[in-house]
Structure 1
Amino acid sequence: MKSLFQEAIMLLKEKKSFSFATIINQDGSAPRSAGSKMLILPERIVETIGGGAMEADVIRQARESVYTNHEPIIKFYDLSPNEAANSGFICGGNCEVLIAYIDGQNSNNLKVFTEAQKAEIEGKKAWFVYVVNISENAIHPFQLCLSVKGEGLIGDFYGSEKFRENLIFNPIRIAIHGETQDGVRYIVDPIHTGGTMYLFGGGHVSLEVAKLAKRLEFRVVVIDDREEYANAKRFEDCEAVVIDDFNHIPEFSINGNSYILIITRGHLHDKTVLSWALSKEPFYIGMIGSLSKRDTIYQKLEEVGYEKKCLEKVHSPIGLAIGAETPAEIAISIMAEIIKERTKKE
Structure 2
Amino acid sequence: MSPPMDLYEQMAALVAEGRPFVLATVIDSAGSTPQKPGSKLVVLEDGSLRGTVGGGAIEHQIIQAARALLESSETTRVIETHLTHELGMCCGGRMKVFLEKHGAPPRLTVFGAGHVARELAALALRVGFRVTVVDARPEWASAERFPGCELLLKDPADHARSLAGGPEHYYCVTTHDHPLDQAVVEALLDKPSAYLGVIGSRRKAERFRMRLRAAGFAESSVERMRSPMGVEIGALSPEEIAVSIVGELIRVRRQTV
Q: How high is the TM-score relative to the length of structure 2?
A: 0.70
| Aligned length, in residue pairs | 225
| 1:157 positional shift | 1.9
How big is each residue's C-alpha offset from its partner over 1:270-311, in whole Å with a ceiling of 9 and x where there is no partner? 112111112422221100111101112222333332333321
**Residue 66 (structure 2) pairs with residue 147 (structure 1):** no
Query: Are 1:274 and 2:170 matched, yes or no?
Result: no
Please tell me whether the aligned partners of residues 42 and 51 of structure 2 are also in contact (alpha carbons under 8 angstroms).
no
Matches within 5 A, 1:232-247: 232-243=143-154, 245-247=155-157
**Contact 1:262–1:274 (CA under 8 A) maintained in structure 2:** yes
CA offset digits 1:82-110 (Å, max 9, x no partner)? xxxxxxxxxxxxxxxxxx9734xxxx677
- Deviations, residues 25-60 of structure 1 (Å, cap 9, x unaligned): xxxxxxxxxxxxxxxxxxxxxxxxxxxxxxxxxxxx
- The 1:115/1:220 distance shift into structure 2, 3 A limit, reads same
Gaps of 5+ in 2: 28-35, 70-75, 80-95
Matched, 1:292 2:203: yes
Q: Which residue of 2 aligns with 1:248?
A: 158
In structure 2, do the counterparts of structure 1 residues 275 and 344 end up closer, same or farther at CA, with 3 Å as the change threshold?
same
State how far apart, in whole Å, the 2-side matches of 1:326 and 1:114 are: 38
CA contact (8 A) 1:112 1:154 kept: no
Tell me which of the two structures has the higher relative contact order, counting C-alpha pairs closer than 8 angstroms and 6 or more residues apart.
2
Identical positions, percent: 27
Summarize the alignment of residues 1-346 of structure 1 with structure 2, pairs less than 5 Å apart.
Answer: 102-103=5-6, 120-121=18-19, 124=20, 126-129=21-24, 145-148=41-44, 151=47, 154-157=49-52, 164=59, 165-166=61-62, 169=65, 172-174=76-78, 190-243=101-154, 245-249=155-159, 251-265=162-176, 267=178, 269-346=180-257
SS in 2 for 1:269: helix
Letter in 1 for 2:183: T
Q: Retained in 2: the 8 A contact 1:267–1:289? A: no
Separation of aligned partners in 1, 2:118 and 2:10: 34
Q: 1:246 to 1:215 in 2, by over 3 A?
A: closer
Deviation at 1:247, TM superposition (A): 4.9
- 1:227 to 1:149, Cα distance in 2 relative to 1, 3 A: closer
CA shift, 1:246, in A, is 4.3
**Cα–Cα, structure 1 residues 303 and 186, in superposed 2: closer, same or farther, change >3 Å?**
closer
Unpaired runs of at least 5, structure 1: 1-70, 73-99, 133-139, 176-184
Q: What is the Cα deviation at residue 212 of structure 1?
A: 2.1
Q: How far apart in 2 are the matches of 1:194 and 1:217?
A: 7
